Amino acid sequence: MTLIDRARFPREKLCGDTVNPGAMAVLRRLGIAGVTDDGLAVNGMVVTGESGVRCEGRYTDGLAGRALSRHHLDARLLAAAAAAGATVEEQTLVREPIVEDGRVCGVRVSHADGRLRSLQARMVIAADGASSRLARTLQLSRHSARPRRWAVGAYFEGVATPLSDPAVGEMHVRSDRYIGIAPLPNAVTNVCVVTSDRVALRDPPRLLCESLRRDRILSPRFTQARQITRPVCLGPLAVENIACGMPGLLLAGDAAGFIDPMTGDGLRFAFRGAELAASAAVMALERGDHTVHEWLSRARRREFAPKWRFNRALRSLVGSAPAVGVAARAAAIFPSMIAPIVRYAGDCRVGRPA
């Protein structure tokens, strides 16, 4: 098996840097060495609204997520793949699929030194991200028409911790954007702003700075903070897949569909989706079955459909200022309503030990 990636690891990647309890359960099941002990524990989530309402929910049954950078997490995952027997080719760009008689039978790649090469394969798994070259070339995915949001993120030092337990993820919902904050090891903080405001997105550094400076809840915590990385912009965020593959090709990770990450469950979708794609690949290789991409589509729907509906509902809520106001008032009156939402967003049910 050959694993091809355009990057050279370890590398930086824009992400919320939080692995929820459900995603942690997948890593434990796969025996990914060290990840379950890395980073900082995340015991729940706090959500604030523009009016000042604040709600906090905890994971149950002793479950916790972890906050750790993708720089660190991805290096661990790559090492695990190599240890399992994969041949890793870094700085190698997959340019296009090789298709013969309606079936993908390999890929064409280019190397950092300019060399071009064709690689034959009985099965190709495209895990090349939300802007997957393979999925787009084969017209298997598209960006969602609406809502269209972009994320701008950077790392900071010197961010003051909240007055409550700092071992929680933070989501600050505002009328035209939301701001995710995750504390990381070594007193570093991940800050990510997600918005559909295309005018503001013309200047990502200013968007990030102004979102924090003008926020009456967050501004005091960033008075002494120092931005230590340049802002990175990613989007549009939501990607819909038309199919989970075709004969000879399966989609995994963000290539199989990328959600707006406000619920913090993107990595659980990616990890569990990769498990399902691997199962489908094994079926294809053992049986010579060229229809396993259809099985994968059905398996993903059974596994993820309830959570997809949940995420779509939250995205629609955040996209409506009146709805955000109503939700904030309801949460202020009935703060206990946030707890089951946080537990569901954290995939605590699937993360619970058997």
**Measured between alpha carbons, how far is 85 from 287 in angstroms, rounded to an integer?**
22
Structure tokens at 240: 């819909």
Distance CA 193, CA 181 (A): 9
Q: What is the pLDDT of residue 346?
A: 80
Q: Where are the alpha helices (DSSP H) in the chain?
A: 21-30, 70-83, 133-137, 204-213, 266-287, 292-318, 321-333, 338-345, 348-351
CB 249 within 8 A of CB 97: yes
HSE at residue 309, side-chain half, CA atoms within 13 A, is 5
Is 259:308 a contact under the CB 8 Å cutoff?
yes
Q: Minimal CA–CA distance to 46: which of 345, 354, 348?
A: 345
* pTM metric for this prediction: 0.87
Centre a 10 Å sphere on the Cβ of residue 45 and count the other Cβ atoms it contains: 27
pLDDT number for residue 354: 47
Concatenated DSSP letters of 269-314: HHHHHHHHHHHHHHHHHHH--TTHHHHHHHHHHHHHHHHHHHHHHH
44 Ramachandran zone, left/alpha/beta (phi>0; psi -120 to 50) = left
Closest CA to 277 of 224, 309, 322, 241: 241
> Do 229 and 152 contact (CB within 8 A), yes or no?
no
Report which DSSP code applies to 90. -
Domains of the chain and CATH, by start? 16-67+146-236+325-351 (3.50.50.60), 74-143+240-315 (3.50.50.60)
Tokens of 67: 């906050």
What pLDDT is stored for residue 38 in this prediction? Answer: 80
Could you tell me the CA-to-CA distances from 73 to 23, 35, 49, 168, 263 in Å, in that order?
A: 12, 7, 31, 19, 19
**Contact indicator for 20, 39 with CB cutoff of 8 Å:** no
- Residues forming a β-bridge with 134: none
36's CB contacts (< 8 A; 6+ apart) are 24, 27, 28, 66
Q: What CA–CA distances, in Å, run from 266 to 40, 99, 145, 178, 256?
A: 18, 30, 20, 16, 12
Can you give the pLDDT at residue 162?
Answer: 72
**Do the beta carbons of residue 144 and residue 228 sit within 8 Å?**
no
How long, in residues, is the chain?
354
Averaged over successive runs of 10 residues, the pLDDT of the chain (354 residues) comes to: 92 88 89 77 84 77 88 91 94 96 96 94 93 92 77 95 74 86 91 93 95 93 95 85 93 84 78 95 92 95 87 64 62 63 76 55
